[in-house]
Amino acid sequence: MPESQRPAPAEAPPLRSASEAERLVQFAKSQPLADGGLQTAQLLSQALDLDPHHHEAQILQERLHQTFVPRWHFPMLADAARNAAYARAITAKVRPGDIVLDIGCGAGLTAMLAARAGAKHVYTCEQQPLIAQAAARVIADNGLSDRITVICKWSHDIVVGVDLPEPADVVISEIVDTVLLGEGALATLTHAMSALAKPEARTIPERGRLVAQPVESNALLDLWRPQQAEGFDLSAFHHLARVAQLPPSDFEACALRPLGPTTELFEFDFARPNINRARTTADLTCSDTGTVHAVLASFEMELAPGVTVANDIDSGGHWGRTAFLLDQPTPVQPGDRAKVIAQHDAAQLSLSVREISAPAKEARSPIVWMNPAWVAPAAARQADLPSPLIEAEAVWARADSAVLQPAVQSNP
């Protein structure tokens, strides 16, 4: 490479700055993380201001961010369909003069949407200090600090009259996982609607439902239950992977094929939530020929009338998917049914396949009307009847009842 095209070497910081950056990094490493990483983050930022290329400071900062800021925040913010749905729902449900409580601030997007929709004031809570601090900067950058207050608290710790001036008119949240329950939405909203909101308060989302359907995917098994590697049988390891968590990239690569429609498991009212345990048995009907490899659980949330978001098999977006793997892949035909047992404790979902079976064949029951007056003439006519009809007449003649009797006959 010609000398003129070689990249310029990184400019080393002054010796004093490099020394001070190193001191700050070592000090950052000694800090407890009970404050959610705030002090550590500040020290590492100061070190990188002095020496932007300090290797250990960069590594520690990234590790800190990954520890305290879940990575799903970023694809969620990039999910245009999800963002547009929340914008429509908030515009429809937030009215001028409303006090809004936004649970789970994140980057502050839903809080800013509520302010834009005309809310008198938005109180948005975020328990993670690094996220709350960043959200406050985003809100300030958008000129909304006077209408949005970031509360660095878990919503269960918020007190009306201390953190909120009055109960909320609207409660907004997006605290669900791939099966609605894993982020504690039901417990959080049970508390919020009873302690932090007015009796007639509106919610976004309004309700949600969990559904399930049988699916086929050889790629899913190749990913989660490889049969062998380099000629070695791996099947004894498979029992350790009964639930497949599929991020969007894996979900797309596995190309799940539905073998039947969705069947509802549970429905949740977010305006009047409860944390009662529930159990249901459901029959998942197969409408196509194939092999059931798993049962896919997915959700649909209604944010406002006519505004929904979902993570079903046909939806895109940032949400992952949850597939419950069968112990053994099972061939099915149209009409076969997979009986599943689903349970939740308001925080977690379990699902097991009890059996997959063909539909019970209905017994054919020819209906025979009997009358004693038919018996004697029937016997007299037998001499004139062909052999098959004589046998049929004999069956009729053996009847000794004048009532309607079904002659039950099993299907072969």
Average pLDDT, stretch 11-37?
87
Specify the pLDDT at position 391: 41
Can you tell me the distance from the alpha carbon of 213 to that of 296, in angstroms, rounded to the nearest whole number? 5
pLDDT tier at 386, thresholds 50, 70, 90:
very low
**DSSP 8-state assignment for residue 166:** S
Query: Does residue 396 register a pLDDT over 90?
Result: no
Specify the pLDDT at position 398: 38
pLDDT tier at 17, thresholds 50, 70, 90:
confident
Average pLDDT, stretch 326-330?
94
pLDDT tier at 359, thresholds 50, 70, 90:
confident
Query: Does residue 392 register a pLDDT over 60?
Result: no
Average pLDDT, stretch 98-120?
98
pLDDT tier at 304, thresholds 50, 70, 90:
very high
Angle, CA 77 vertex, CA 76 and CA 83 arms, to 5°: 90
Phi, psi of 390 (to 5 degrees): -60, -45
Domains of the chain: 13-68 (no CATH), 74-174 (3.40.50.150), 209-357 (2.70.160.11), 367-406 (no CATH)
Query: Comparing 407 with 334, which gets the higher pLDDT?
Result: 334
- Per-residue HEC secondary structure of the chain comes to CCHHHCCCCCCCCCHHHHHHHHHHHHHHHCCCCCCCCHHHHHHHHHHHHHCCCCHHHHHHHHHHHHHHCCCCHHHHHCCHHHHHHHHHHHHHHCCCCCEEEEECCCCCHHHHHHHHCCCCEEEEECCCHHHHHHHHHHHHHCCCCCCEEEECCCHHHCCECCCECCCEEEEEECCCCCCCCCCCHHHHHHHHHHHCEEEEEEEECCEEEEEEEEEECHHHHHHHCCCEECCEECHHHHHHCCEEEECHHHHHHHCCEECCCCEEEEEEECCCCCCCCEEEEEEEECCCCEEEEEEEEEEEEEEECCEEEECCCCCCCCCCEEEEEEEEEEEECCCCEEEEEEEECCCCEEEEEEEEECCCCCCECCEECCCHHHHHHHHHHHHHCCHHHHHHHHHHHCCCCCCCEECCECCC
Render pLDDT for 189-243 as a digit per residue (tens, 0 to 9).
999 999 999 999 999 999 999 999 999 999 999 999 999 999 999 999 999 999 9
| Coil vs helix vs strand at 75 | helix
Query: Does residue 141 register a pLDDT over 70?
Result: yes
Query: Does residue 389 register a pLDDT over 50?
Result: no
Taking a C-beta distance cutoff of 8 angstroms, is the pair 256, 292 a contact? no
Specify the pLDDT at position 358: 85
Query: Does residue 16 register a pLDDT over 80?
Result: no
Specify the pLDDT at position 155: 97
Residue 107 in tokens: 């980057």
Query: Does residue 91 register a pLDDT over 50?
Result: yes
Average pLDDT, stretch 328-354?
96
Specify the pLDDT at position 387: 43
- Stated as kind and residue range, the H or E segment containing 42 is helix 38-50
Query: Does residue 405 register a pLDDT over 60?
Result: no
- Active-site positions? 174, 183
Specify the pLDDT at position 5: 60
Task: Write down the pTM of the prediction.
Answer: 0.81
Strands 367-368 and 405-406, by their bridges, are antiparallel
Among the listed ranges 57-61, 301-305, 352-356, which one has the minimum average pLDDT value? Answer: 352-356
Average pLDDT, the chain: 87
Query: Does residue 3 register a pLDDT over 60?
Result: no
